[in-house]
Chains A and B, each alone.
Chain A
Amino acid sequence: MSANQLEAHVAKLQEALGGMLVRLERDRQNVPIFWVKREQVIDALRAAKETNGLEYHFLSDLTAYDDTDGEDEAQGRFVVVYQLYSPQGKTRIRFKTRAADGVSVPTATVLWAAANWAEREVFDLLGVKFDGHPDLRRILLDVRWQGHPLRKDYHWRKYQLFNDPEPIPEHLLKEE
């Protein structure tokens, strides 16, 4: 996609997002980053997914990072990142939203089933909670783990050892 086409495409996205867009940034590869408010993130993602001509049908990745000591930390310590890909237009965009410690972000599982485990991983490693998630449990670490390792205040050599295997919650198998 040429530079002019990309600008037209970004303008179209801005129009689709309307008032939901807080700030537009570019990354080092000139990929647009749309900052949106936490409460409106699902509406914004839905606009990108379902508006004709945009069709970002593909959740490439969902992740988050700890923005301790960042410029805008006052607006929320964690940044949740949604990487979207459009197989039709072959373009990538990125959505970002901020969440303070202990504040929940609305779940993207209503739009993509793939968001389920990705959100569980974010919850596990960073402690960001997702509102309306069907099954928000730890995924990589043991259920008995204390703390969230990808937070910047968690020292990387702080091991935790468990001698017994992790129990699988039996109610999960019983329910229909």
Chain B
Amino acid sequence: MKTNNTDPQLNDPDEIFEDARQYMNIGPSHPATHGTLRVMVRLNGETIEKSISEMGYLHRGKEKIAENNTYHKFIPHTDRMNYCSALMNNVAYVMAVEKVLQIEVPERTKYVRTICCEIARIIDHLICLGIGAVDLGAFSFFLYGFHQREEAYTVIEKLCGARLTTSYTRVGGLAMPPPDDFFLALKKWLDGFEPVFNEMDKLLTENKIFKDRTIGIGAFTKEQAMAYSFTGPCARASNINIDLRRDQPESVLKYDQVDFDIPLGKNGDVYDRYLVRMEEVRQSVRILRQLSDKCPKTGPVWCDDKRVVIPEKERVYNSMEAMIHHFKFFMEGFNVPPGEAYTAVEGPNGELGFYVVSRGGPMPWRLRVRAPSFYMYQSLDPMIKGQKIADLVASLGSINIIAGELDR
């Protein structure tokens, strides 16, 4: 590396060692990668000259599994993609299948699904914010967030009986209607969460060390972010005004019934991504409060379409026809007419899309998952080029790569 500076006092110490290049490997199993990722870097002193990102360590062939299982059997697999926001994946998947079937679900289901999405967004953002802070040494911030995340899981447990792998939605409905005390538990959690979150904000947002470590790091301009198909909080941090909650009014979810603001960043650096995520959590709390008031507390959760409705247990145990129907449903699955549809929802990390191609029959011909992490991770190499090795960790944390979704 050549330097034009003649004053040796002002030279960057990195530039003194002209041939001091070394290669460093991070991952696949490393505390700072939060999953099985691998980054190989070529360093000049502490500066990253070139890097290669590798992935595929958690590849389980979900898309191939989908082609060989019925539509119903694939629902638990969607939990295992983005395991930080399993509910969101459930909702997005069944919406995609419903669009190919052209099924309309009842109002109550739409509301409950939207609530699911927003809870998932909060817990996913808490993970991203907390872990991102841990990487930079702010441990207590993470613990505050993680405690509240566990409380949120208790609310989810009330909803569907599981904490992490929810599998809550069904094609054409929900596994079960939310219990009567669910909305009370949700409100109670929100009331407890908001003051803690404000405290978290005070703890870290104006922290000088945190600001020094994040401002101007991993910056992506608007044009770069567009070229790399950025969506979600990272795109909004780069000042791209895009949010599928607002931009898809024809969507099944009930975002047109609530008021919320969409925060935008300016510089697209790690700090802006942090700020956008913090504000989005607040907005999600606001949306949840409105939705829990508006959500119908009674009414059907299943659609009228007899093809996809799971027969009630009461009838299955007491009538032969329903018993046969039950076995037919779970052993053979339901037929989906030929056709295709692409459904995108605003996931916590960005556009989460399911592209279903059907040729008729109970199994999809092709199921493609458009994972936001896949497109985010691709941008890591240009993002960290020319920066310090310690900033790699900050950049990687800020784009929130979930390995299960990345490799599928």
Contacts and interface: CB of A to CB of B under 8 A. Distances in A.
B64 A65 contact: no
B226 interface: yes
Contact of A83 (B102, B228, B342): B342
B342 A114 contact: no
Contacts of B52: 168, 172-173
B229 A114 contact: yes
Contacts, number: 109
Contact of B59 (A29, A31, A60, A141): A141
Contact of A63 (B56, B227, B355): B355
Contacts of B341: 27-29, 31
Contacts of B50: 173, 176
Interface string B27-46: 00000000000101010000
Interface stretch (B10-18, B165-173, B280-288, B364-372): B364-372
B182 interface: no
Interface stretch (B153-161, B240-248, B271-279, B386-394): B240-248
A87 interface: yes
B407 interface: yes
A94 interface: yes
A65 B228 contact: no
A140 B342 contact: no
Nearest to A1: B250
Nearest to A66: B366
A168 B40 contact: yes
Contacts of B38: 168
B342 A168 contact: no
A146 to B, nearest CB: 15
A113 B227 contact: yes
A122 to B, nearest CB: 10
Nearest to A83: B342
A149 B370 contact: no
A140 B407 contact: yes
B65 interface: yes
B227 A61 contact: no
B26 to A, nearest CB: 12
Nearest to B378: A117
A58 B229 contact: yes
Interface string B232-272: 00000000111000011000000000000000000000000
A28 B351 contact: no
Nearest to A109: B227
Main SS at interface, chain B: mixed
A141 B56 contact: yes
Interface in A13-56: 27-29, 31
Interface residues of A, number: 40
Nearest to A125: B63
B54 A27 contact: no
B404 interface: no
B374 A117 contact: yes
A150 B99 contact: no
Given A28-B102, A141-B59, A173 B374 contact: no
Given A29-B341, A140-B59, A61 B67 contact: no
Contacts of A70: 359
B360 interface: no
Nearest to A152: B67
A92 B40 contact: no
Given A27-B342, A28-B340, A150 B351 contact: no
B351 A65 contact: no
Contact of B370 (A57, A60, A176): A60
A156 B56 contact: no
Given A87-B242, A117-B378, A112 B227 contact: yes
Given A117-B378, A141-B59, A92 B342 contact: yes
A90 B248 contact: yes
A58 B370 CA distance: 14
Nearest to B63: A150
B344 interface: yes
Given A60-B353, A114-B375, A139 B342 contact: no
B100 interface: yes
Contact of A156 (B64, B100, B378): B64
A116 B353 CA distance: 19
19 contacts: A27-B342, A28-B99, A31-B342, A58-B226, A58-B229, A61-B342, A61-B355, A65-B368, A81-B355, A81-B368, A87-B240, A117-B374, A125-B63, A139-B55, A140-B55, A150-B63, A150-B64, A154-B64, A156-B68
Nearest 8 CB-CB pairs, A to B?
A: A114-B229, A65-B366, A140-B56, A28-B339, A61-B370, A113-B227, A140-B59, A117-B378
Interface of A: 27-29, 31, 57-61, 63, 65-66, 70, 81, 83, 87, 90, 92, 94, 112-114, 116-118, 121, 125, 139-142, 149-150, 154, 156, 168, 172-174, 176
